Structure 1
Amino acid sequence: MTSLAAEYDPYILALPGPDSPVVLSQWISSGNTHYNARYWESVWPLAPIIDNPSTSLHKIFWRKCPASLLGEVKLVTWTMLNGRLRPTYLKDRGVQARGRTSASDMRDTCNEWMRLARWLHERRFTSLSDCTEEVWRAYLSERWKDGVSRDYAEKICIALSDLWAFDQLSARPANVTRPPWEVEGIDDILPPADGSASGENSREPLDPQTLGPLLIWAIRFVDDFADDILAAWAERRRLVAVAAANKGVPESLAALADHLLPLIEAGEALPAIRMHGKMSLARTYVSALTGASLSQVGHFSERHRLSDLANERPGPCPLQVPVTGRIDGKPWRTHMDFDEAPELMRHLGTAAIIICLYLTGMRPQEVQGLRSGCCPEPEPDADGTRGRHLIRSRHYKNVTDADGNLISAGEEREVPWVAISPVVHSIRVLERMVPPGELLLSAAHHDFMQQRGHHGALKHQGLNTRVEDFASWANREAKAQGLPDQIIPADPHGAIGLARFRRTLAWHIARRPGGLVALAIQYGHMRTVLDARTASGYGSRSRGGIHSVLDVETALAAADTAAHLRDRMAAGEKISGPAARRAVTAAATTPRFEGRIVPATFAKKAAKFLARDGIVLYDNPDAFLICAFKHDNALCEPEPGATAPRQYACQQGCGNTVRTDTHARQMREKADEIDLKATVVPEKLAKRMRRSAEKLRKAANAHDATAQSAEALT
């Protein structure tokens, strides 16, 4: 009967034998070479179904399961690893329900099943079929008493329902009974929700007073310190290789004594590194400097108690590399140090990660999946100008195959990320830290001390720790450099965390006096990626989603644009363009943003404000104009229903264009700047540049010829 059922029902799997593979071949990608265990083994690695570099290589340990229930739990787990839930089972379970889930979800589900098995064993039950309705209710009540949240209790119910569902797909089912919440509903089983449960991405944005100095230090590391740190790391590695190759000969021992004995006798500091919480003689450094072998340095150190002396009077280990980085015009280090180089490399990678996370809006696992070469230099256009840098990357969330099964390896995003300059610089630094084609956050190549060769990319928890360590280092450095205003204060909502960068958008810092990152940089990038709203749930949050935050940021920027236009007209400036009359109306009717705290209720008002088609003003400094955005007039091809222009695709002749005297002046200044640059480039390119300058002057002249005062337009 089992064979017939398995043959005629594709969802029922044939019974495995002791030597059957834990993961069947159809679920293993061609490039996955991880060890695939056998059914009889006590540890089941899930690595064969893990292709996401940001995911840890999970395992299932069967020692946690009582022997009386081991056979049944093992079989249903094997069925979960290799089977698929029926579409009829998934139909009414929401869009997030999957026939096959991720390896981490499978591991967590199996662990819940084993927890149930231990609970049953303690009560002398010997089979999963003993889970009657009363037993299900008793177990769930026990789990609720453990203090789990309402959200987590719902996940427990889903895992236990999957036990029932996958048991039905087994060639030898244990006859698990249907849990009562499958009939009554979870809300009738669990205590009522108190409204405190948080939805996806309900985490708080980073406080601007924390983010500001954090970003300052991250950009400083990438732009100012990177060359020094990378040179120091290369020199350290060279010295380590030299020390390892040194041979112990009498001449090298004499050189060692000549180098260290005068320091010992004079009571001077010894070259030291920190080991196990205290300072110790820098043996490798000394070996490389003197030519002595490592064993000679070790014996010499023991004979003269140099480790104790180094701990009492530790000295530097200067590297022969230049220091080019500056803080407030002064060198940030007197020398690069052998002992500090690994720590600085770790912080350099963290700084680049912070910039990539915050200034792209990527999810953490999308940054973890970036590879060297993901952001090539753009090809020049016909006029010699270069386009924007684009990041080709993979995304992983909700990536499924044709049958709705989760694809661990993800897939390349159809729309590449647009990279602004700080992000490009960060990627270039990361590319110098790993081999070509390697993951930019390769765990093996970012392990600067122990070189343990870990799998894939640096993992989420480790990166969280690195960000906190980076902030601590920056605070110590700020105090040492006399920069109290650049200390990173603790965030009032807790640890910084990788995922909070994505939640923290430009409006957090754009409204601060002397804001650290111009709104134009973040606004242009985020709107480029998100304005099309290719999915209404992209980055959604229970309090309205990421789009509501973008609407707030956009509305505030538009209010500023209207206020600035109103001020210019009051100062006597004239305006021109086909949308000039609409712009005057918008400037007169738009309230001024006075810098107050933006309440959560403002999101709905912002969306309503932006929906006023034709009288919302968007500043476009790159095109030297204001866009009085009216959807039907726009030549930038906005998406249906869009309430903002594609500012990066602004077209000449658009009916939404507005210019002021200030724009005309800026265009002439830009033309003069282009002409000046044209004097130092090849003639062919110079001609194209001069043509561009002439176009700017013609547009400025057209403004002068047609501009009118606000009074004349009303």
Structure 2
Amino acid sequence: MSVPAAAGLPTPRASTISEAVDEGTPVFTRVNGLVDGVPVPRFGERERWNGECVPRPSNITPGNWRIAFPTFDPVWNTRAREVAFGLLNPTHPVLRAAGVFRSAQPARLSTVRQLIERLGVLGRWAQAESMPDLPHWDLDTLTAFVTYRLRNGVHKERSLIPYRSVLTTLHDMHPVLTSGGLAIDPSAAVTAKSMADTQTKTIDPAVWWPLLRAAWAYIDRFADDILTAREAIAPAGPPEPIVPHQAGQRPPAELDAIFGAWLADLGNRVPVRQTTHATAQGRDETVITPCWSLLAVMVHGPGSSTFSTTTVASRRRRDQAQAAADAGQHQILPNRAGATDLPHPTPHFTTVRRADGTTGPWRSHLSQHDLGDELRALQGAAYCFVAALSMMRDSEIQEIRRGALTEHHGVPALRSHKLKNEPEPVEEKWWIIQPVATALTVLERLSHHPTHLFTTNQSRTERNTGTVRRGLNASYAIDAFITHVNAHHHTTGLEPIPARRVRPHQFRKTMSVICGQEPDGEIALGIQLKHAARRILANPTTHSYAAPNGAWIREFDDRLATAAAARLTGLLATRTAGTAVAVGPAAARLHTGLDRAAAQLDAQNGAQAPATLQALGADAHTAADLLRTELPDLRFGTLNHCLWQPDWAECAKTLPADQRQQPLIGACQPANCRNSAVTADHAPIWLAEHSDLTQQLLDRRLPPARRAALQARLDDVETITTALTQDL
């Protein structure tokens, strides 16, 4: 913000940043966390400021770790460099002298980079629309720009927040900007209403569940196959030098014998390329031609040329290979296929059951090229799984290092570094469950980087020379994993994942919505999300972040209905076995309703089987719907089930008749109310209460009134516990 001059005092002319700062001034200082020995960019560099001199987060590629300035106009270029310098050096004397007081903590390079990119968009729009110079903009100009972004571009960027930051910065720093900044307050143009539709979206339940199931299948069932195949097909270590094979020095008879044995194994297939030619009669004819160099390598080893046309023996072997290929013993390779495209049989891979009912290895063959795809898929699966179940930010996930598993307050956790809103990386701990620990163990095997788990998938040469770069493009990894699962679901047995847009920050949002439905979920979420360093209860940020949308509200309702249906059919199955399912004042009503439902199911299914078998074999949803008809007012509870009838309710007897709409849980009297039925599922709570009351009554120091109250409570509890132990 900028501070206005006191009333009645003359306002001294403030210098702009370009006037006060020499072009040779370093733009980063020790406060920004400089890397020793790396040159620091200077203010006079007009095209870009490289960020090699400050530590780079793993989730940002080296090519993006810089600030690129707009070059279409000298004024906007100078303005952009001044804004960047002011954000990186917020306590510089020129800003303080002009009354510009922003946060004393320098902005992160990634924040400045994104802001300058949006500043360039703003400048190009102003130039294209022939807008006046920035100091002369009014509210209509800002509104026009916001409308332009909403109409043309913000659907790709998903948010107007960066543009609000640009406009606010131009307003706050206008006294120190060459040619001036934004004179009016932009908050009226970029309102909460215009940003309402740009909040973080959740992942749709139709995508969420199959995505997590596929990710876990790769981690738990396929990972060992993939990593073992990597060691067999593309082992780590320096590549062996390719030297001419000694095949030419062996007798032709020996080479023929080796080739004959190779052909005798029908699992070996001649690599061929398939082409189509037009015949003299004008018809298309498909021709298969063996890949002779690949075949020589497969049969006689690297460097072999045993299928050339230079000798009689080589030509004879060519004829045999062509005959075998024509007979169907071949594998078709792409036109530009090489040795990495040769498929290797994988009968030892994990057996799966597919959608068509067949079983077999989840991949029957695997080439070196396929192996690279599977390694990328495994990495994408691990990323999705860790992001979903840890609720970490992308920057925090990609900072996970080897040996990250630990404990925090006696609970399994992982260590990483929090970067957001921190002057320097801060080590934090996130609670996890065992499957996440399994995913990290897989990543430690997968990664070739000496410290970090999420890395680029480089070539074998780069891995062996230690040049694997930490960090990955998370959005690409997610998209590639979903595409890969859908392309191979017919062999892996995984269900297809709907093709929707999924981005890293949506995992955190979606899991927050799910966890927010649990008791005290907001408090746990606030700690896990790292929304605040100190708290007693969850703050409003956590509450709004975990608010469910329409799709997840329907998902929660469906799951509640499914759970209720399971409870109802469980009671019905027990009752049709001829045993009581409940005790208490309303037990007889519950039994009557269950018996009527069982009788109707018997009538629907016929009388050829015992009633118990018919009820158990009935469709769960059909049985549940029937039970809801017979017991429309049944409500499940922790201490008892309530067969709600307003006139009999002990909890509502003091209320006027028109206010007895639903049970009052806090006033429930389960031992005395004629609506109460207690089942075997409730027994542990009642027996524990009985034991606790009995123990308290052994205290001889109890006052008479307290003893009488405890004894009355024990008498009520014994009414239920006696019935539970005798009747159920």
Pair 1:469-2:483 in alignment:
yes
Distance in 2, matches of 1:297 and 1:98, equals: 74
CA distance in 2, matches of 1:43, 1:453: 26
The equivalent position to 1:374 in structure 2, one of 390, 404, 408, is 404
Matched ranges for 1:167-246 at <5 A: 167-168=174-175, 170=176, 173-174=177-178, 176-180=180-184, 182=185, 186-187=187-188, 189=189, 197-198=196-197, 200-201=199-200, 203-207=201-205, 209-238=206-235, 241-242=238-239, 244-246=240-242
Structure 2 counterpart of 1:131: 134
Aligned equivalent of 2:116? 110
Which residue of structure 2 lines up, in the alignment, with residue 502 of structure 1?
A: 508
**What is the deviation of 1:81?**
2.4
Question: Secondary structure of the residue that 2:377 maps to in structure 1?
Answer: helix
Q: Does 1:480 align with 2:480?
A: no
Give the aligned residue type for 1:427: L
Using the alignment, how far apart are the partners of 1:227 and 1:469 within structure 2? Answer: 21
- Report which stretch shifted further, 446-455 or 225-234: 446-455
Q: 2:498 aligns to what?
A: 490
Q: Deviations over 1:622-677 (max 9, x none)?
A: x999779xxxx9xxxxxxxxxxxxxxxxxxx999x9xxxxxxxxxxxxxxxxxxxx
Structure with larger Rg: 2
Match of 1:75 in 2: 82
Task: Structure 2: state its 5+ residue gaps.
Answer: 1-13, 275-288, 323-330, 354-358, 585-635, 645-661, 671-680, 696-716
CA distance in 2, matches of 1:505, 1:463: 19
1:637 is matched with which residue? Answer: none
Q: Deviations over 1:52-105 (max 9, x none)?
A: 3223433233463423553444233222222258899779xxxxx885433333
Give the whole-Å Cα distance in 2 for the aligned partners of 1:536 and 1:571: 48
Distance verdict in 2 for CA 1:251–1:16, change over 3 Å: farther
Counterpart-to-counterpart distance in 2, 1:255 and 1:45: 63
Consecutive unaligned residues in structure 1, runs of 5 or more: 1-8, 92-96, 380-386, 401-406, 512-518, 576-582, 592-608, 618-622, 634-652, 658-702
Aligned counterparts of 1:616 and 1:235: Cα–Cα separation in 2: 68
Distance 1:590 1:218 in 2: 43
Task: Tell me how far 1:345 sits from its aligned partner.
Answer: 1.0
Alpha-carbon deviation of 1:217?
A: 2.7
* Aligned 1:548-567 pairs, distance under 5 A: 567=571
Residue identity in the other structure for 1:216? R
Percent same amino acid at aligned positions?
15
Is 1:346–1:448's contact at 8 Å kept on the other side of the alignment?
no
Q: Distance in 1 between matches of 2:348 and 2:567?
A: 44
Q: Residue type matched to 2:302 in 1?
A: A
Using a 3 Å threshold, how does the CA distance of structure 1 residues 51 and 507 change in structure 2: closer, same or farther?
Answer: closer
Task: From 386, 410, 413, give the equivalent of 1:356.
Answer: 386
Q: In structure 1, how many angstroms separate the alpha carbons of the residues matched to 2:294 and 2:552?
A: 53
Aligned partner letter, 1:19: G
Q: CA deviation at 1:429?
A: 0.5
- Residue 302 of structure 2 aligns with which residue? 292
Corresponding residue for residue 458 of structure 1: 472
Aligned CA distance change for structure 1 residues 21 and 335 (closer, same or farther; 3 Å): same
2:455 is aligned to 442
Indicate the larger mover: 141-150 or 41-50.
Answer: 141-150
Name the CA distance, whole Å, in 2 between partners of 1:158 and 1:233.
47
Please list, as runs of the form range in 1=range in 2, the aligned pairs for 1:293-332 lying within 5 A after superposition.
Answer: 293=303, 310-311=333-334, 317=342, 323-328=348-353, 330-332=360-362
**1:432 maps to what in 2?**
445
Contact 1:214 1:471 in 2 (8 A): no
CA positional deviation for 1:361: 3.0
What letter corresponds to residue 539 of structure 2 in structure 1?
S
Alignment partner of 1:28 out of 14, 29, 33 = 33
Residue by residue, what CA displacement relative to the aligned partner does 1:366-397 show, whole Å, maximum 9, x if unpaired?
32222221114899xxxxxxx64322233334
Q: Post-superposition shift, 1:229?
A: 0.8
Check whether the contact 2:32–2:106 (CA below 8 A) recurs between aligned residues: no
Q: Structure 2 vs 1, CA of residues 587 and 441 (structure 1 numbering), >3 Å: closer, same or farther?
A: same
- TM-score normalised per structure 2: 0.57
Distance 2:307 2:85 in 1: 55
* Higher mean C-alpha displacement, 44-53 vs 315-324: 315-324
Query: How has the CA–CA distance of structure 1 residues 542 and 394 changed in structure 2, closer, same or farther, with 3 Å as cutoff?
Result: closer
Secondary structure of 1:248's partner?
coil
Equivalence for 1:587: 640
Report the Cα distance in structure 2 between the residues aligned to 1:133 and 1:144, rounded to whole angstroms: 19
| Superposition map of 1:668-683 within 5 A | none
Q: How far apart are 1:346 and its partner, in Å?
A: 1.0
Correspondence for 1:544 among 534, 544, 547: 547
The answer as to 2:48 corresponding to 1:43 is yes
Alpha carbons of structure 1 residues 225 and 17: separation in structure 2 relative to 1, 3 Å: same
> Which residue of 2 is the match for residue 144 of structure 1?
147
In the aligned structure 1, how far is the partner of 2:263 from the partner of 2:554? Answer: 70
Alpha-carbon distance in 1 for matches of 2:363, 2:173: 62
Residue 176 of structure 1, CA deviation: 1.6
Cα distance, 1:232 vs structure 2: 1.1
Taking a change above 3 Å as real, the CA distance of residues 135 and 55 of structure 1, as seen in their structure-2 partners, is same
State the match for 1:403 in structure 2.
none
Kindly state the Cα deviation for residue 572 of structure 1 after the two structures are TM-superposed: 4.7
Aligned to 1:419: 432
TM-superposed deviation, 1:107: 1.6
Name the counterpart of 1:647: none
Secondary structure of the residue aligned to 1:355 is helix
Find the aligned partners of 1:79 and 1:178 in 2 and give their Cα distance.
Answer: 15
**Structure 1 match to 2:68:** 61
CA contact (8 A) 2:391 2:512 kept: no
Structure 1 75/525 Cα, relative in aligned 2: closer, same or farther at 3 Å?
Answer: closer
* Paired residue type of 1:418: W
Tell whether the 8 Å contact from 1:360 to 1:417 is kept in structure 2 after alignment.
yes
Q: 1:707 to 1:363 in 2, by over 3 A?
A: farther
Query: Which one of 147, 161, 168 corresponds to residue 161 of structure 1?
Result: 168
Q: Deviations over 1:413-450 (max 9, x none)?
A: 2xx3333232121111001112576222123x567798
The 3 A distance-change label for structure 1 pair 424 and 254 is: farther
Counterpart residue type for residue 501 of structure 2: A
Equivalent pair of 1:164/1:179 in contact (CA under 8 Å): yes
After superposition, residues 337-348 of structure 1 pair within 5 angstroms as: 337-348=367-378
CA–CA separation in structure 1 for the residues paired with 2:512 and 2:146: 42
1:248/1:292 contact within 8 Å kept: yes
Q: 1:163 to 1:204 in 2, by over 3 A?
A: same
Letter in structure 1 aligned against 2:134: C
Structure 1 residues 71 and 215: alpha-carbon distance in aligned structure 2, compared to 1, 3 A threshold: closer
Native 8 Å contact 1:270 1:313 kept in 2 = no
Report if the CA contact (8 A) 1:253-1:292 is conserved.
no
Distance (Å, rounded) in 1 between the aligned partners of 2:544 and 2:293: 53
- For residues 433-481 of structure 1, the C-alpha deviation after alignment (integer angstroms, 9 at most, x for no partner) is 12576222123x56779869575311232233233223323xx2x3236
- 1:174 aligned partner, one-letter code: T
Q: How far did 1:284 drift?
A: 8.9
Amino acid at match of 1:23: F
Name the SS for the 1:393 alignment partner: strand
Alignment CA distance shift 1:165-1:313 (3 Å): closer
In structure 2, relative to structure 1, the CA distance for the partners of 1:706 and 1:466 (3 Å cut) is same
**TM-score normalised to the size of structure 1?**
0.58
